Amino acid sequence: MWVLIVIAIIIIFFLIYNHQSNSKTPELFKYPIRKSDLKLFWNGKDLFNQLFEDIRKAEEFVCISFFIVRDDRFGDEFLTLLKEKADSGVPVYLLLDRIGSRSLKGRKDELRQAGIHLTFSNRINLMKPIASMNKRNHRKLTVIDGEIAYIGGFNVADEYVNESPKFSLWRDYHLRLTGEVVEDAQNLFTLDWEFSSKYPIKLTQKEHPPGTVKCQLVPTAQGSLEENMINLISQAKQSICIGSPYFIPSNKVFNLLLDKANQGVQITILYPHQSDHPLVKEASIPYLKKMQDVGANVQLFTNGFYHAKVIIIDDHIADVGTANFDRRSIFLSDELNVLIHNPVFIRTIYSIYSVDLKDSIPLYDQWMNTPNRLVMFFKKQVAYAFRGLL
């Protein structure tokens, strides 16, 4: 018995102190603030109806990167569309995360034979298996004909279009972008593709007329997200609104939030009532409870599953994208967010956030101690030990 305990302690120690990957990653560009036109989607069916229409209209190329494309009914519909597009002669590039989209490994020959240029990101390094398995490409990026880009939290599987028996509704935020920022999105996809596939692609660069919304593409990797979060939160004078399916911030980010709350900044946190992964709720509870104790408004979304990633600061800057408010996104995953500097569009984002707040209830003791205090205590201890991987 004691031998097993010692082995478990050694494994936990190894995981926690060696979870940050030293794997190489493409050089991160600091893209400029651009003027573009944006549209926000929060329902998967609406998003994919528009995305599929844009793909069908593509004439020059389709570049798609997702963390998850699952081999289920909707995943097959998505892949069938890409095969049809490739068969029409339009180049289709599909970049998938090796772990997140592992269910498609058995179909890779089929997809390549159909004409799709397919590659998987971040190979497993047998010399560093834990580190390399945990370094994932969590970005969701689509670029079509160099004119349209999509960035946000939705992946491709049945649950994202509300067809999963587990969740009645899947809430997420995703952007459709046109204008100047598409140039940067195309550049980032090219870098990710060439890094993962080891062969170059040549995509036509286009001139883009300026749009009406100031925004900035912000890719992060290997810990750079922490500095971005700190810079963003530091600007808050009146309010901070956070939406995330997981709430496991780094110590620096969490301490800054506590400081802001003590300075009188109104903080709202929207978190799902129902979890989609083991231990993430237990790992999040101590942080959520502490925020509530210092005066934050912590709300639990009850109308399905809340998977959106958003930060709104003082109604003058918003952050929407792929990064969760957790240590995995901060330290391990490659992420992609869009900073938005436009009061009118930020009000649009906040209006959807407000609707989701209406479908939520305040953080309460019974939820934090289900099924009972003893079981929850042990689960929280395990979650705390593994919080760097959650």
Other Cβ atoms within 10 Å of 334 Cβ, number: 27
Q: What is the structure's pLDDT at 129?
A: 66
Is there a common fold for 32-211 and 214-390? yes
Q: What integer pLDDT is reported at residue 61 of this predicted model?
A: 98
pLDDT at 29: 78
Q: What is the DSSP string of 5-36?
A: HHHHHHHHHHHHHT-S-----PPPP-PPPEEE
Superfamily of domain 32-211: Endonuclease Chain A (3.30.870.10)
If we measure between CA atoms, which residue out of 280, 279, 277, 271 comes closest to residue 302? Answer: 271
Strands 148-152 and 141-144 come out as antiparallel
Q: What is the pLDDT of residues 155-203, one digit of tens each?
A: 999 999 999 888 889 999 999 999 999 999 999 999 999 999 989 998 9
Distance of alpha carbon 174 from alpha carbon 204, whole angstroms:
25
**Residue 140 annotated to the active site:** yes
Indicate which residue of 85, 97, 135, 145 is catalytic.
145
**pTM given for the model:** 0.92
Q: How confident is the model at residue 126 (pLDDT cuts 50, 70, 90)?
A: low
What are the residues whose beta carbons fall under 8 Å from the beta carbon of 305, sequence distance 6 or more? 159, 166, 167, 169, 170, 171, 245, 272, 274, 276
pLDDT at 304 exceeding the cut of 70: yes
Given the residues 19, 85, 140, 380, the one annotated as active site: 140
Q: Specify whether 359 is catalytic.
A: no
Compute the distance between CA of residue 160 and CA of residue 154 in angstroms, rounded to an integer.
6
**Whether 138 is catalytic:** yes
Largest CA distance in the chain: 68
Q: What is the C-alpha to C-alpha distance for residues 176 and 167, in angstroms, rounded to an integer?
A: 25
Compute the 3-state secondary structure of the chain and give helix, strand, coil in percent, each to the nearest 5.
Answer: 40, 25, 35
Distant-in-sequence, close-in-space partners of 98: CB < 8 Å, separation ≥ 6: 120, 121, 122, 123, 124, 136
Catalytic residue among 72, 314, 315, 359: 314
Residue 385: pLDDT above 60? Answer: yes
Q: Residue 378: which pLDDT band, with cuts at 50, 70 and 90?
A: confident
The residue extents of the domains of the chain are 32-211, 214-390
214-390, superfamily in CATH?
Answer: Endonuclease Chain A (3.30.870.10)
pLDDT for 376: 76
Q: What are the tokens at 213?
A: 């919304």
User: Among the residues of the chain, which ranges form H helices?
Assistant: 2-17, 44-57, 73-87, 108-113, 129-134, 181-197, 224-234, 251-262, 280-293, 327, 343-358, 365-368, 373-385
Q: What is the pLDDT of residue 23?
A: 53
Average pLDDT over residues 267-287: 93
Tell me what the mean pLDDT of segment 317-341 comes to.
Answer: 97
Decide if pLDDT at 128 tops 80: no
18-41, pLDDT tens digit by residue? 444 445 666 677 999 999 999 999
Q: Is the pLDDT of residue 72 over 60?
A: yes
- The pLDDT value recorded for residue 67 is 97
Please report the pLDDT score of residue 168 as a whole number.
Answer: 86
**268-294 burial by CB neighbour count: b if 16+ within 10 A, else e?**
bbbbbbeebeebbbbbbbbbbeebbee
Tell me if 138 sits within 8 A of 335, measured CB to CB: yes
CB 340 within 8 A of CB 213: yes
Catalytic choice (307, 319, 334, 379): 307
Active site residue 309: yes
- Tell me what pLDDT residue 224 has: 96
